[in-house]
Structure 1
Amino acid sequence: MARATTLPPVTPQMRRNQRVGMICLAVVAAMVGLAYASVPLYQLFCEATGYGGTTQIAADNPKGVIARPMTVRFDSNVASGLPWTIVPSKPITDDIGRVDTVNFTATNRSDKPVTGQAIFNVSPERAGYYFNKIECFCFTEQTLQPGETVQMPIVFFVDPDLDQNAELDTIKELTLSYTFYPVNEGG
């Protein structure tokens, strides 16, 4: 005859251990969720605040122009694996708020079509919030045919509100820097 097995009674200590285990499991699940969400959340934060030299996107400059000159310098870097040569625009000096257009020149040095894309930042970082791009090649992937050279325009302005930020009174120069990366086509 089979003996009936009886489970030991659930003690308060066992309940506490179960609760601690459930809390630990919930913390681990939350950490995994935050790890997956961190990149898009950080990007949204940077776009909203200009943190990390992230620029703003605008359709035009509704605030006008102020008589404070600002020099904007341009820089480019090309990641390994992208057979392009990039020549940035020469620096320009203009009054804050004036909409300017400059071109980067890109050349595909390979014998096949190559697709690339750029990411950008502005330095000093705290001024990135005031740098507004109306049009930029960085918004889309670019495919250059073998040996092709193209002009890649940027239309931008520096927000006149920069002049209201006392922390930026000494800023006379901004640098817009692009790093170009290859795009893996087909996955």
Structure 2
Amino acid sequence: MDAPTSHTPNPRSGRRARIIAFSCLAFAFGMVGAAYASVPLYALFCKVTGYGGTTQRAEQGSATILDQTINVRFDANASPGVPWIFQPNERQVTVRLGETRQTAYHAKNNSNVPVTAQATFNVTPLVAGSYFNKIACFCFSNQTLQPGEELDMPVVFFVDPAILDDPDLKTAPTITLSYTFFPVEPVRAPVAEAAPAPAAARNAL
């Protein structure tokens, strides 16, 4: 009978296992870090890649305005950590391609503490983001509302007439601009003032 053959560890297999373990660990730490910096990372990622229907930034309006119109809808959301009433002042507008239009979103702090939040945004259909130009907006900047405070936040935009040259958007579909507010820091409940000590206790001191 043949003697059992001893198994010699493969140095390459051990090295591969260490690389996989290190990669998984690094990924886990990266996800934790992303959770604490999700809004800034999302902003940077979208600006660099154009992901998620990221709009374009423009310094001024379009030089070309067409008679053809397009519908633009407005959507508003607040995450559970932002106790605000947040909604658009207009649910939908009809604009000419290239026409500069201003609208606004309204927010009210329903809590009894100051709340600072920051909004991310996206446009659908996603490919329409390349033609939706914002001249002014409140996204990616901190907004602080005191208890009960209300605020109108303007958005100035136009839709590039070049959208008609895109084979996926020739029909000029309805565009939806959506904002979602996330907390910049956890909402803290106000600290109750300490009750005055009873008179007997004060006299005993």
TM more than 0.5: yes
**Aligned-pair distance for 1:34?**
6.6
Q: Is the 8 A contact 2:55 2:133 kept in 1?
A: yes
Secondary structure of the structure 2 residue equivalent to 1:51: coil
RMSD across aligned positions (CA):
3.1
Tell me the residue number matched to 1:104.
105
Q: TM-score, normalised by structure 2?
A: 0.70
- Moved beyond 4 Å, runs of 4+: 27-35, 37-46
**Aligned-pair distance for 1:173?**
1.1
Cα distance in 1 between the residues matched to 2:81 and 2:156: 28
Query: Letter of the aligned partner of 1:143 in structure 2?
Result: T
Tell me whether 1:164 sits opposite 2:157 in the alignment: no
Q: Is the 8 A contact 1:73 1:176 kept in 2?
A: yes
**Aligned-pair distance for 1:132?**
1.8
**Aligned-pair distance for 1:184?**
0.7
Query: Letter of the aligned partner of 2:104 in structure 1?
Result: N
Tell me the residue number matched to 2:84.
84
Tell me the residue number matched to 2:70.
70
Cα distance in 2 between the residues matched to 1:97 and 1:136: 18
**Aligned-pair distance for 1:167?**
1.1
Tell me the residue number matched to 2:59.
59
Tell me the residue number matched to 1:145.
146
Q: TM-score, normalised by structure 1?
A: 0.76
Cα distance in 1 between the residues matched to 2:155 and 2:120: 13
Q: Is the 8 A contact 1:51 1:126 kept in 2?
A: no
Cα distance in 2 between the residues matched to 1:56 and 1:32: 36
**Against the structure 1 CA distance between its residues 134 and 32, is the aligned structure 2 distance closer, same or farther, given a 3 Å change threshold?**
farther
Residue among 11, 14, 26 paired with 1:21: 14
**Against the structure 1 CA distance between its residues 47 and 32, is the aligned structure 2 distance closer, same or farther, given a 3 Å change threshold?**
farther
Cα distance in 1 between the residues matched to 2:77 and 2:42: 23
Tell me the residue number matched to 1:7.
none
**Aligned-pair distance for 1:141?**
0.9
Tell me the residue number matched to 1:47.
47
Unaligned runs of 5+ in 2: 1-7, 188-205
Cα distance in 2 between the residues matched to 1:169 and 1:98: 18
Unaligned runs of 5+ in 1: 1-12
Query: Letter of the aligned partner of 1:70 in structure 2?
Result: I
**Aligned-pair distance for 1:89?**
2.8
Cα distance in 2 between the residues matched to 1:160 and 1:28: 51
State the aligned residue count: 174
**Aligned-pair distance for 1:49?**
5.3
Q: Is the 8 A contact 1:50 1:130 kept in 2?
A: no
Note the alpha carbon deviations across 1:100-155, whole angstroms, 9 max, x for none. Answer: 11111111122221111111111112212221222111120100112111110111
